Amino acid sequence: MARRFPIVVLLCSMAVAAFGQALSLVTDDTYPRSTPEGTGFEDLILKEAFGRIGLSVKIAFLPSERTLINVNKGIDDGMFVRLAGVEAEYPNLVMVPESICEYEFAAFGADKSLAVDGYESLWPYRVAIIRGWRHPEANLAGARRLVRVKDDDALFAMLEHGRVDAIVYESLEGRMRIRRLGIEGVYQLGPPLATIDMYLYLNARHKDLVPGLVSALQAMKADGTWSRIVDTVTGGP
């Protein structure tokens, strides 16, 4: 069975390719994870993974909630990256059970003196998160005021205008954004709130691709492709 697996993947890939269409993947991640040009490390990892099973992908940016909806409805073929267990809410989603990356949820704010140590330490403050981010949303339910915004631009704008005391964002992306855009007076507050493995989800009609993708991702991690891509994009370990 194990020996015949590559043949099945190949046949499936050929079937998809027969349609002449690249798979559409959507994401709400930003630089350095994903860019409009498809040069984020997650973009490159997935292109490599899909390439290894003989498929090409095109990547589009959507609001966080919309990525779930579109893939769930089959409008798009897959989305990245998400926590495990999203398929419970969106039954047409199939998780590729090999993580793409890790997410470090961290608090950012203008007041360095704000003592942040875990989600509960943010509860007394006005906190903003991106709508559709399930993990911080679930852990900040007790916050004094929790504001949900459309995307990371809106998230940082809330903070810069002083409308919230802190925002919860992915640590790497946040730091890279501050550096890239030259944002002053905004800092990561304390250590990451949580580190979570993040996965690729496909529409259920592509569930046959899951084993191939898992194998490809595992192989990429094993042969150092994964690490090389991340380091290349983020500037090293």
Partner 1 sequence: MRTGGIGSRALRSMLASCLALVAVSTLAEFLIQYRGMSRSIAEDIERVRLAQTPVIESALWSSDSEQLQALVSGMLFFPYISYVEVRDLDGRAFSAGDREPGGSERSYRLFYEYGDREIDLGTIELRTDTGKIISDITGQIIVSLALQAFLLFFASALMFALFERMVTRHLVLIAAHVRENVAGSAYEPLALDKRRRGDEIDTLVDAFNRSFQGLSEAREAERRAMVELRRSEERNRNLVEEAPDAIMVFDVDLGRFVDCNRSAERLLGEGREWILGIGIEDLYAVDQPDGLPVGASVAANQELVLSGRPQLVQRNLRIPSGGIVVCDVRLSRFPSEDRRLIRASYLDVGDRVRAEKAVATSLREKEVLLQEVYHRTKNNMQVIASLLDMQTYYSDDEGLRGVMKEMVGRIKSMALIHQKLYESRDLSRIDLKEYVEDLVREIRRGFLDGRSGVEIRVEAEEGIVALLDTAMPCGLVLNELVVNCIKYAFPGGRNGTIAVDLARGEAGTLLLEVSDDGVGLPPGFDPERDGKLGLKTVVSLIEYQLRGTIAYSAEGGTTWTMAIKDDLYVARV
Shortest distance, position 46 Cβ to partner 1, whole Å:
19
Residues paired with residue 59 on neighbouring β-strands, in sequence order: 25
Identify which range of 31-39, 65-73, 77-85, 197-205 contacts partner 1 by CB under 8 A.
65-73
For residue 164, give both structure tokens: 């919230």
204 in Cβ contact with 16 (< 8 Å): no
Identify which range of 67-75, 121-129, 171-179, 196-204 contacts partner 1 by CB under 8 A.
67-75
Size of the site for partner 1 (CB under 8 A): 13
Sole residue written with tokens 């595992």 = 218
Question: Considering beta carbons, is residue 63 or 211 the nearer one to partner 1?
Answer: 63
Return the DSSP state at 40. S
Contacts 24+ apart (CB under 8 A), 155-158: 155/128, 155/129, 155/130, 156/108, 156/183, 156/186, 158/128
Question: Considering beta carbons, is residue 75 or 86 the nearer one to partner 1?
Answer: 75
- Where residue 45 falls (left for φ over 0; alpha for ψ -120 to 50; beta otherwise) is alpha
CA distance 21 to 218: 25
Q: How many C-beta neighbours within 10 Å does residue 76 have?
A: 23
Question: Considering only residues 70, 139, 215, 225, which one is a binding residue for partner 1 as defined by CB under 8 A?
Answer: 70
Shortest distance, position 162 Cβ to partner 1, whole Å:
19
Shortest distance, position 153 Cβ to partner 1, whole Å:
12
Question: Considering beta carbons, is residue 73 or 228 the nearer one to partner 1?
Answer: 73
Q: Which residues contact 93 (CB under 8 A, 6 or more apart)?
A: 68, 71, 72, 79, 86, 87, 201, 202, 203, 204
By CB under 8 A, the residues from 78 to 107 that bind partner 1 are none
Binding flags for partner 1, 112-151, as an x/- string (CB under 8 A):
-------------------xx---------------x-xx
Question: Considering beta carbons, is residue 70 or 225 the nearer one to partner 1?
Answer: 70
Shortest distance, position 150 Cβ to partner 1, whole Å:
5
CA distance 46 to 126: 36
Identify which range of 61-69, 138-146, 164-172, 194-202 contacts partner 1 by CB under 8 A.
61-69
Interface residue list for partner 1 (CB under 8 A): 60, 63, 65-66, 69-70, 73, 75, 131-132, 148, 150-151
